[in-house]
Chain A
Amino acid sequence: DTGVSQDPRHKITKRGQNVTFRCDPISEHNRLYWYRQTLGQGPEFLTYFQNEAQLEKSRLLSDRFSAERPKGSFSTLEIQRTEQGDSAMYLCASSLGLAGGRGGNEQFFGPGTRLTVL
């Protein structure tokens, strides 16, 4: 068990550029979450996958944001036409959901990707 990994750890980009982040969850975990954390705040939920299906998206996730989990394993989060307000730490978490929708509340977090938009 190597834990949740995220790549890159840091990304600096210019306003208007597109960026993509990757998250590799704990291998047997079927649930994957993306959160965003701005300075001085707690993480805020962005979106959630059960296997490859994206089941929930926050209103924080504007049309410029898209997330995928194509084979129910790793996930990518893309931000198009970045804005300075997108500067934040993007955290990925995974959990194991059981049959019937039970379980899965213990989420394990990755180290995050810190995005700076200049």
Chain B
Amino acid sequence: AQSVTQPDIHITVSEGASLELRCNYSYGATPYLFWYVQSPGQGLQLLLKYFSGDTLVQGIKGFEAEFKRSQSSFNLRKPSVHWSDAAEYFCAVGAPPIGFQKLVFGTGTRLLVSP
């Protein structure tokens, strides 16, 4: 069964500083990987996804993530954080494209941005 670990519950970053949020997954094959962002009281917005091919994927709002099979990781990065990036970030893993495709989410990392 799939599982996702986000080891950091909270991270505080100064505005303008770089950001890296960690995500480790467990899955028997090459998974589909996602990062979602959730603002307080809101639903989830997809930031980026990895299905196959280039292991460095670009997303919206200046985010990128790198798939590292050897480390079972899919860390999210941003070179310069803006105050509006403060939110909760969820990493998720999905099954291969054939058949049923629920997403399994990590417990999330709350990003705080200090002035």
List residues of B (68-106) whose CB comes within 8 Å of A's CBs: 90, 92, 94-95, 97-106
> Does B63 sit within 8 A of A, measured CB to CB?
no
**Which of A40-55 touch B at CB < 8 Å?**
40-45, 48, 55
Query: B97, A102: Cβ atoms under 8 Å?
Result: yes
* CB nearest to A92 among chain B residues: B43
Query: Which chain A residues border B49 with CB–CB below 8 Å?
Result: 105-106
A41 touching B44, Cβ below 8 Å? no
Of residues B32, B36, B98, B101, which shows the largest number of chain A Cβ atoms within 10 Å of its Cβ? B101
Which of A11-19, A64-72, A75-83, A108-116 is the interface stretch?
A108-116
A21 beta carbon closer than 8 Å to chain B: no
Q: Please tell me if the beta carbons of B42 and A45 are within 8 angstroms of each other in the complex.
A: no
Given A105-B32, A108-B46, A109-B36, CB of A41 within 8 Å of CB of B98: no
| A33 contact set on B, CB distance < 8 A | 102-103
With most chain A CB atoms within 10 A of its CB, the pick from B43, B92, B95, B105 is B43
User: In the complex the two chains form, is A112's CB within 8 Å of B42's CB?
Assistant: yes
Tell whether A48 pairs with B108 under 8 Å between CB atoms, given A109-B44, A110-B43, A112-B43.
no
In the assembly, what is the distance between CA of A108 and CA of B107, in Å?
19
B100 touches A45 (CB 8 A): no
Instruction: Return 30 A-B CB contacts under 8 Å, by A number.
Output: A4-B43, A31-B101, A33-B102, A33-B103, A35-B103, A40-B107, A40-B108, A41-B107, A41-B108, A42-B4, A42-B107, A44-B105, A45-B102, A48-B102, A91-B44, A93-B44, A95-B101, A97-B101, A100-B98, A103-B97, A104-B101, A105-B97, A105-B103, A107-B46, A109-B36, A109-B43, A109-B44, A109-B45, A110-B43, A111-B42
Given contacts A31-B101, A42-B4, 20 further A-B contacts (CB under 8 A): A35-B103, A40-B108, A42-B90, A42-B107, A43-B44, A43-B90, A43-B103, A45-B104, A97-B101, A101-B97, A101-B98, A102-B97, A102-B98, A104-B101, A105-B51, A105-B97, A105-B101, A106-B46, A107-B103, A114-B41
